[in-house]
């Protein structure tokens, strides 16, 4: 049961991220190799914001409990007793675990308080992701191809380094605990509720992407991807479209990072590496098929399930490989990617071509419109 929950939760989180990448690259043709920027931004926000906001809300709307937070160890001579919310806020990083445990007790007894924090966190995450996407849109407007990919890759690495070295953000190298916003569910049921919540968000993102790509805007994204010069010659604002695409894609990816941090209960900057949150999503999208949300779902599912099976059964597989088992999933998935690129570069489920209407059909439509126009003139 725990294995199924873990796989399902990770699948839903990665689906949110790969859908955003598919919008940016598959449909708009933007090689976003800085995906980790938005994902880490959302995760860092989950580590920085909800705990502090929770304490501030308790200051504004006192819940009646006495603050008594024991921080440190008496044997080590570093015992602290925090008796006010101001002290808890001021010692949020040094006494993080103690403050988070106390705050979790408050959340466990007040589901409305928990839901309010979840809403504030997710809305803030989307806004932060959109802002990061807006920042990345500047090189996205001016650069193309390999140059854009390299700049976005460097920008994605910058935030991880900041999180690793700036302690007030997410605790620096030691990381930070995240408030258990699902504590009201209690015990193991907490992971079930968290997983269901992530699935609902992922389903909403998937259907939003489907509506987007089936709309006139989706056809415009394909036109920009296939030939920017032609799109511009028809009066389309390609620069503005690239900017909006990066803003929307980054906002969605930031939600994925936030949900993952809330699910795991902690944030460590080293967890959000470019391999896990940029390269792996690229593999999933290419594996399933670009510009195809169903293919993205298939590629993400195959990748996550296969990788988790290897991790889960690594002890049993250790005797069958002549190297350290921790590299098995990386080697196999890398080999699978090479095979896909060489033998089936369009992915498991290729993009469906958009056909124009036959000449006869177009003429019949034009003729019908002309007849309707003539009839209206005669009536008038």
Domain at 33, CATH number: 1.10.3470
Q: Give pLDDT < 70 ranges for the chain.
A: 1, 63-66, 73-78, 353-359, 362, 365-380
Determine, yes or no, domain membership for 356.
no
pLDDT at 339: 83
HSE on the CB side for 78, CA within 13 Å?
6
Whether residue 255 is contained in a domain is answered as: yes
Residue 357 inside a domain? The answer is no
What total of structural domains would you count in the chain? 1
Which value, in Å, is the radius of gyration of the alpha carbons in the chain?
A: 25
Residue 84 is predicted with a pLDDT of 86
- Tell me if 189 is assigned to some domain: yes
Dihedral of the CA atoms 221, 222, 226, 232 (nearest 10)?
-40
Confidence at residue 266, expressed as pLDDT on a 0 to 100 scale: 93
Domain with 322, as residue range(s), is 2-343
Q: Is residue 246 part of a domain?
A: yes
Residues 198-210 have pLDDT tens digits of 999 999 999 999 9
How high is the pLDDT of residue 377? Answer: 46
326: its two tokens: 């921790």
C-alpha–C-alpha distance, residues 195 and 356, integer Å: 42
- Assign 3-state DSSP to the chain and report helix, strand, coil percentages, each to 5: 75, 5, 20
pLDDT of residue 83: 81
Question: Are the C-beta atoms of 246 and 133 separated by less than 8 Å?
Answer: yes
């Amino acid at each position: 049961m725990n294995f199924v929950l873990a796989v399902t939760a990770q699948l839903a989180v990665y689906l949110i991220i790969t859908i955003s990448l598919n919008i940016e690259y598959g449909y708009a043709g933007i090689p976003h190799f800085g995906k980790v920027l938005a994902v880490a931004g959302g995760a860092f926000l989950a580590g920085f914001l909800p705990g502090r906001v929770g304490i501030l809300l308790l200051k504004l709307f006192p819940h009646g409990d006495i603050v008594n937070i024991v921080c440190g160890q008496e044997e080590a001579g570093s015992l602290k007793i925090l008796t006010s919310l101001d002290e808890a806020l001021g010692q949020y990083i040094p006494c993080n675990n103690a403050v988070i445990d106390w705050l979790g007790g408050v959340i466990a007894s007040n589901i409305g308080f928990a839901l309010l924090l979840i809403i504030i966190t997710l809305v803030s995450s989307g806004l932060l992701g959109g802002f990061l996407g807006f920042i990345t849109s500047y090189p996205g407007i001016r650069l193309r191809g390999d140059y854009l990919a390299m700049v976005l890759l460097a920008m994605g690495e910058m935030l991880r380094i900041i999180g690793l070295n700036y302690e007030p953000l997410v605790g620096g190298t030691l990381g930070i605990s995240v408030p258990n916003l699902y504590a009201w569910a209690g015990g193991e049921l907490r992971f079930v509720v968290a997983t269901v919540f992530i699935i609902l968000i992922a389903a909403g993102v998937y259907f939003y992407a489907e509506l987007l790509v089936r709309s006139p805007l989706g056809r415009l994204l394909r036109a920009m991807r296939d030939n920017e010069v032609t799109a511009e010659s028809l009066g389309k604002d390609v620069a503005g479209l690239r900017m909006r695409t990066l803003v929307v894609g980054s906002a969605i990816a930031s939600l994925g990072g936030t949900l993952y941090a809330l699910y795991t209960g902690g944030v460590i900057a080293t967890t959000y590496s470019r391999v896990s949150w940029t390269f792996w999503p690229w593999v999933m999208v290419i594996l399933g098929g670009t510009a195809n949300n169903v293919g993205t779902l298939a590629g993400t599912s195959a990748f996550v399930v296969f990788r988790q099976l290897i991790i889960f059964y690594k002890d049993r597989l250790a005797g069958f490989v002549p190297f350290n088992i921790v590299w098995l999933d990386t080697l196999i998935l890398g080999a699978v990617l090479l095979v896909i690129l060489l033998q089936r570069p369009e992915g498991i489920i290729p993009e469906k071509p958009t056909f124009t209407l036959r000449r006869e059909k177009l003429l019949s439509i034009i003729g019908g419109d002309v007849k309707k126009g003539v009839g209206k003139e005669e009536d008038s």
